[in-house]
Structure 1
């Protein structure tokens, strides 16, 4: 059994520097060596990047996939990615849209750096290697392993800035656990919708927040974008001023409306006042269903970069959560 551990950076590899703070220092091999793995697993450790996750780019995700596929060609049975947690819910979801291999890809990280008491990085890495090496993980696409829990990227949310238990599944439960060195799935395999890796990401998608007495203000500064995500009130609503102003702009681009609440889908047929979901749909807006604004932006960017038109984008958003 061969597992490839690919290091990208993040808290899991950070140590104190001369400033007294922490920054990326440890390579992938050092992380693997720190767990003292005794199982009969051959580990191939490679460092791709060493950056805090807020500085990751779409192109970095494409490079991760390229390296991971090369590892599979070299007989790797599973891939583990170590990265920072700040953007992990976004990068893992993007990976899940593009990873077309039966070999599992596991994404993990840490909330405490290795020099802190109770650091969780070694444990998370060890659990991720167990999941990547388990035969029942095949055909499950991209998974996230953190604090003994296995997550689907589509439902993943970082809920706390410091807690080791930061990741939660929103709108869909956890799919498995790791206890007593055993991987235990409690859900069937999801069928992930897979898209082509774009030749390049040259489409820009903005997220505009809905907020009390101010959601239309952001439209005053709106540059030219290829798509918009409106992080709406409640079940996907905007103010009177917002809908009037955005109608006046005559934007011929896909505009997706999500809910800022953190859980639950957008509505489709409940409210009919100006700025409601019925009014928005009548004006060409796409309701985001269970997508939060961050993942909606990821999906819309991938679709636009693959040449999808507005009608096809509408179909993809309306059918995505039917793929199981």
Structure 2
């Protein structure tokens, strides 16, 4: 029986990092081919092709790079790959995942993974994460689930996963929703069935710029007042609590929302923005009346990516429906 075909792309990140000399910081140097050699078990699971598409820390990835990676991944599926795995740095892993989630239009799974420990560090987690990600990508039960992140034996959906610790091995979680599945004794076990997805076409425009600002105690409005002047096409606010800002900020946001889309998310790291609970100046009800959209469960970083893609597809008028679709995914969907 012929083994399934699996495609792996390496972009860099901690999973590819090691120090060239003692006492120096680690940098991306390990190719995808070398990383693959660290998991010889894969040859018994699939016919694997691997390409090193970049050796970058994930902070230096950008949307243009991700569109190129997406094109590569699409081609692999068209050529018969059962699934696609991408390794990259963890700093922007949650953002890359949601970027691909909105654009991935295949039943075949796209799985992202990385590492919290560098390639030469004792207890390096990269090889185990890669093997787990490949098992997820090859599983029949992973089909029609879109984009998933596999780290430390857990499977997280792109819409919910966040990096919630800077250095710990268990750095990724999905607040409120929890992981969508687990690796148990090398077997992929999902905790709930696939949820409906809303897919966007590839963006025709890529020069749009989306600003993101965080509300805080006694924050001034100087930067906020420049948003329109410097030419931003959209604005995301990481709001206080359930999506709140000061009265001064609310006044400026109203003038901005008349010109460009504005999304209010929560900076808390867990939970959703409210819709109809608070009525004070700067509350969610006030901001909605002033023309802003509430992000629901979508975090500020992911809301920024959604808005960038919608504007690029000239579908910003569909913002509310996309926010609702992402924010109302049921745990028992």
TM-score, normalized by the shorter chain, greater than 0.5: yes
Partners of 2:306 and 2:271 lie apart in 1 by 18
Q: Normalized against structure 1, the TM-score is what?
A: 0.95
Q: Normalized against structure 2, the TM-score is what?
A: 0.93
**Structure 2: which 5+ residue stretches go unaligned?**
none
Farther-moved stretch of structure 1 (196-205 vs 145-154): 196-205
Structure 2 partner of 1:264: 271
In angstroms, what is the RMSD of aligned CA positions?
Answer: 1.6
After superposing on structure 2, the runs of 4+ consecutive aligned residues of structure 1 that deviate more than 4 Å are: 248-251
Q: CA deviation at 1:44?
A: 0.7
Structure 1 partner of 2:167: 162
Q: 1:299 is matched with which residue: 295, 306, 314?
A: 306
| CA deviations over 1:106-158 (Å, ceiling 9, x no partner) | 10000001110111000000111111111111111111100000000111110
Q: Tell me if the contact between 1:147 and 1:165 (Cα under 8 Å) persists in the aligned partners.
A: yes
Structure 1 partner of 2:24: 20
Q: 1:106 to 1:247 in 2, by over 3 A?
A: closer
Partners of 1:319 and 1:110 lie apart in 2 by 30
Q: 1:282 to 1:250 in 2, by over 3 A?
A: closer
Q: 2:36 is matched with which residue: 14, 29, 32?
A: 32
Q: 1:255 is matched with which residue: 262, 274, 294?
A: 262
Q: CA deviation at 1:4?
A: 0.8
Q: 1:251 to 1:118 in 2, by over 3 A?
A: same
Q: Tell me if the contact between 1:215 and 1:239 (Cα under 8 Å) persists in the aligned partners.
A: no
Count the aligned residue pairs.
323
Q: 1:317 is matched with which residue: 316, 320, 323?
A: 323
Partners of 1:250 and 1:281 lie apart in 2 by 10
Q: 2:11 is matched with which residue: 8, 11, 25?
A: 8
Structure 1 partner of 2:117: 112
Q: 2:241 is matched with which residue: 204, 228, 234?
A: 234
Partners of 2:302 and 2:18 lie apart in 1 by 31
The yes-or-no answer on 1:287 pairing with 2:303 is: no
SS in 1 for 2:6: strand
Partners of 2:195 and 2:264 lie apart in 1 by 25
1:211-222 correspondence to structure 2 within 5 Å: 211-222=216-227
Partners of 2:86 and 2:243 lie apart in 1 by 34
SS in 2 for 1:172: coil
Structure 2 partner of 1:85: 90
Q: Tell me if the contact between 1:89 and 1:153 (Cα under 8 Å) persists in the aligned partners.
A: yes
Farther-moved stretch of structure 1 (63-72 vs 243-252): 243-252
Q: CA deviation at 1:68?
A: 1.1
Q: Tell me if the contact between 1:209 and 1:215 (Cα under 8 Å) persists in the aligned partners.
A: no
Structure 2 partner of 1:95: 100
**Structure 1: which 5+ residue stretches go unaligned?**
none
